[in-house]
Amino acid sequence: MTSPVNAQPFQFDLLARDGRARAGVFHTPHGDIPTPVFAPVGTAATVKGVPPRDLKELGATLVLANTYHLYLRPGDDLVARLGGLHTFMGWDGPLLTDSGGYQVFSLRDIRAVDDDGVTFKSHIDGSLHRFTPEKVISIEDNLGADIIMTLDECAPPLDRAYNQEALRRTHTWAERCLRAKTRSDQALFGIVQGGVFDDLREQSARFLTALDFPGYAVGGLAVGETKTQMHHVLDLVDPLLPEHKPRYLMGVGTLEDLFEAVARGIDLFDCVLPTRLARHGAAFTHAGRLNLRNATLSEDRHPIEEGCACYACQHFTRAYLRHLMRADELLGLYLASIHNLHFLLDTLRHIRQSILEGRFADLKRQRVGS
């Protein structure tokens, strides 16, 4: 099946391999994305509390926004009238929008799925809405992100009967998304589903690669399965996906998961974890998570992490961060967010460099012990 999704200006250059870990560059209309890469999540067209200026300074090269949330508020038509998502949110780098499928299917008590699409109630006001593959592509067309996703059904990973039925719909919806897509400046990624079941994952990977998408996501992971099961699925799909196209693991952002997924051929990641943890007063460090509200930090003159180049660590102490958190000052949430984003973005930069230099396995042992 031939489709406009492979049209330039999208191209993935695979520059190096170290084992199964990959370093490359994905070229998009709004700039190059060096891979492997972590994308901060800007659910409602903003990475919570962090301006685009700071994302640039942190070295972010890709930001994710959420189709479901932007469709409900402020509305994709409004975003289109105001110049598209890049202009609307003041971010001129590459953008990715998910299909909203995960959010819709997480509303288990207020949605109904059929072969044509899914009907759901807004979590905001209870109003009734319907997503079909064609509707989702229309919304993502209005938003105008560089990378867009097909509508898929994210099934409970351990329920085989549900996954078999959901996979049939996901594959049909992928074909319909391809037919509905018209913009050559958007790269539409297919999403491999199938829960923890080898035959279903293989079936999904083979079906979707035959449709010749410019990139592939692995969905339905980090949603209830064990780490061993997640790693097994990634081991399984790695050789089934084209080497010359980027692979995206959706919704994963712990240090261990990033290293383990890169080791299994994954190129793109996103997760709300760094800013969500910051809002709960926690910071990433190489020694583990640091509770910034802890009383033991009340006179601690050290930064969150020694040697960290982020703005928070270069200028402020743990004692000050604890004070801000205890006083519910917004600056505390901002500084913790800056640090956590820097931690993951910098980690991915070090991972990429280690792949280019052929020392990824050594770095992985140093950082996560295996």
Whole-angstrom Cα distance, residue 274 to residue 258?
A: 13
Is 270 one of the annotated active-site residues of the chain?
yes
Cis geometry, peptide bond prior to residue 36 (ω within 30 degrees of 0): yes
pLDDT given at position 352? 98
The ranges of the chain with pLDDT < 50 are 1-7
Identify whether the C-beta of residue 321 lies closer than 8 Å to the C-beta of residue 292.
yes
Residues contacting residue 326 through CB under 8 Å, at least 6 positions apart: 293
Neighbours of 330 (CB within 10 A): 9
Residues contacting residue 196 through CB under 8 Å, at least 6 positions apart: 157, 158, 225, 229, 232, 233
Neighbours of 20 (CB within 10 A): 15
pLDDT given at position 110? 72
Return the DSSP state at 22: E
| Catalytic option among 18, 98, 238, 257 | 98
Is 32 one of the annotated active-site residues of the chain?
no
Distances (CA, A) of 214 to 71, 219, 332: 25, 16, 40
pLDDT tens-place string over residues 155-203:
999 999 999 999 999 999 999 999 999 999 999 999 999 999 999 999 9
Whole-angstrom Cα distance, residue 61 to residue 36?
A: 11
pLDDT given at position 60? 98
pLDDT given at position 285? 97
Q: What domains are there in the chain, each with its CATH number? A: 4-270 (3.20.20.105), 272-370 (no CATH)
pLDDT given at position 3? 42
pLDDT tens-place string over residues 312-350:
999 999 999 999 999 999 999 999 999 999 999 999 999
Strand partners, 38: 269
How far does CA 93 lie from the centroid of its chain?
15
Runs of H (alpha helix) within 95-132: 101-106
pLDDT given at position 8? 62
Strand ranges for the chain from DSSP E: 11-18, 21-28, 31-35, 37-40, 63-65, 95-97, 111-113, 118-121, 128-131, 147-149, 187-192, 216-218, 247-249, 268-271, 282-283, 290-291
* Torsion angle, alpha carbons of 304, 306, 307, 309, to 10: 20
Whole-angstrom Cα distance, residue 46 to residue 66?
A: 10
pLDDT given at position 15? 98
